[in-house]
Structure 1
Amino acid sequence: MFEIFELNIIKRAFIVISFIAPLAPIFGVFLLLRRYAFFADTLAHVGFLAIALSIFFKINSLILLIFLSIMVAISVEQLRSRDRLPAEGSLSFFLYAGVALSVVFITFAENTGSIMSILFGSLSTVTNEDVYLIIATALVCLSFLFKYHKKLLNLCIDEEIAHACGINTTVVKMLFAIAVALSISISIKTMGALLIGALMIIPPLTAMQFCKTLRNTVILSVIFSLLSSYAGIFLSYYSGIPLGAAISTVLIFFFLVSLIFKVFK
């Protein structure tokens, strides 16, 4: 069993997951509080486009992931704040545009690689260079959460009251959108474009079945995320299931257990 720890791809997977797994559900909690969970799916599909572009132009996919995700996050927040498009409308546009253009670029790429890895994650897609960039970006996101978590909470409870209390809600919303984009972009290679939302949303939903306070919900969602991610690495390695799908399967198991617990509590 322990021979897998001798493999470099497994070591990289554990390092990357140790930074991604705690980060994703924390942002997921705030997305759920803002009723904005669809935002994660939109950025994930934009990430699919970034990987397709990187294959087509033969450039570093993670850098392009980060850049394109930030640009779309800023665009969505600008359109939403200026009431030029309904929030759902702008998200839907970028989601479908991301998928459609991804298919176009992948169709004309010389080497498409593994579509399964792009969509559902892989143990082998993260390079040594990616690890350093992922760690640095994760630390930036954690710093943002540490500095702005109280303002974010006030914003989620009532945006008008937060603004009346002197919080620059426009700036906080924009920074939050960028931070979410960063957290998703560094997670796509392991979780896949279609399943990164699961790591952000399912752990908080599971934790909510057990907890009544926000603090406990965040803590328990991080624990569920870490346990599911580590178990998913083993499941992926020994079964051949894509990493994102393996992690999501464990997440679903924990969620179903939490529902049963709540029913019989």
Structure 2
Amino acid sequence: MLDDFMWRAALAGLGVGLAAAPLGCFVVWRRIAYFGDATAHAAILGVALALLWNISIFAGVVSIALLMAISVSLLSGKGYAMDTLLGVMAHSALAIGLVAVSFVAGVRIDLHAYLFGDILAVGKTDLVIIWSGAILVIGLMLWRWQALLTATLNEELAHASHINPRREQLVLTIALAIVVAVALKVVGALLIAALLIIPAATARPFSRTPEQMAVIAAVIAMAATTGGLRAAYTFDTPTGPTIVSLAAAFFVISTLASQGWQRFAS
């Protein structure tokens, strides 16, 4: 089965969707969508450094993502607004990464694949990395779920419950870095944030509990990745953008359906 590139691509999409959706719920609840976008942009610098130092691209991307998150945490509250810091660091990391790539001698680099994804080129080793990362992220989410919810709801309540909000923020940061690293091959650095945010936003109107929202978001994300893959194959369109476009279509349908239901109920 794994000798068929379409099956490999589908399994990769399912793994990324399963990992990104629950994490995306916290991104939506905490209103840190720009943080996810900044981390994804920094992934290109991680790719460049990994190639320059001849190390694993996964390790390079995770390291840079964590470094950015820690830097933002240390610099926040020192005269700069969070969105300003994220904007400066995200675009700087992307630009420096693109420049650094040009200094990699003897290696042909398909920047389009890193920016927009190349799910059809996923190999068996990539599948192992993607699903290992997905299982790790899901494990982190399950382990810290209640603590993450409490810290997201109210920091004072978290302190009263003997929960350290900064520690839970670190857990989210680590999970986000892992998701960015495993999703880079599927949707690319410029579209990772969309796969985090859109399924969670789509699930929100139909969810009564946080757990329900996470499950619905995961289903939507997996449907978008597999459906987008099939549509891209059928219509010969770029796979990463097609996946995100289908997720966006789900969001539009969800919004119209929820508004229609609210009008009917009133």
1:177-256 matches, within 5 Å, as 177-256=173-252
The answer as to whether partners of 1:233 and 1:246 remain within 8 angstroms in 2 is: yes
Deviation at 1:54, TM superposition (A): 3.8
CA distance in 1, matches of 2:165, 2:257: 38
Q: Which runs of 5+ in 1 are unaligned?
A: none
Q: Conserved in 2, the CA contact under 8 Å of 1:47 and 1:69?
A: yes
Note if contact 1:77-1:177 (Cα within 8 Å) is conserved in structure 2.
Answer: no
Residue number in structure 2 paired with 1:21: 17
The 1:125/1:39 distance shift into structure 2, 3 A limit, reads farther
Question: Which AA in structure 2 matches 1:105?
Answer: A
Tell me by how many angstroms 1:112 deviates. 4.6
Question: What does residue 89 of structure 1 align with?
Answer: 84
Give the Å deviation of 1:227: 0.7
Q: Which amino acid aligns with 2:142?
A: F
Deviates more, 1:205-214 or 1:33-42: 205-214
Between the aligned residues of both structures, percent identity stands at 26
Paired residues of 1:77 and 1:174 also in contact (CA < 8 A): no
Q: Within the alignment, does 1:102 sit opposite 2:104 as a pair?
A: no
**Larger mean Cα displacement after TM superposition, 182-191 or 47-56:** 47-56
Q: d(CA) in 2 for partners of 1:31 and 1:169?
A: 15
Structure 1 position 65 matched with structure 2 position 23: no
Shift in Å at residue 26 of structure 1?
0.9
The aligned residue for residue 156 of structure 1 is 152
TM-score (norm. length: structure 1): 0.89
Runs of 5+ consecutive residues of structure 2 not aligned to the other structure? 262-266
Describe the SS at the equivalent of 2:163. Answer: coil
State the alpha-carbon separation in 2 of the partners of residues 177 and 102 from structure 1: 21
Deviation at 1:241, TM superposition (A): 2.4
Please say if 1:129 is aligned against 2:129.
Answer: no
Contact 1:116 1:242 in 2 (8 A): no
Number of matched residues?
Answer: 260
Is 2:43 the partner of 1:47? yes
Match of 2:114 among 108, 113, 118: 118
1:25 touches 1:203 (CA, 8 Å); kept in 2? yes
- The question of 1:78 aligning with 2:74 is answered yes
TM-score, scaled to structure 2 = 0.88
Match of residue 11 from structure 1: 7
Deviation of 1:56 after TM superposition, in Å, equals: 4.8
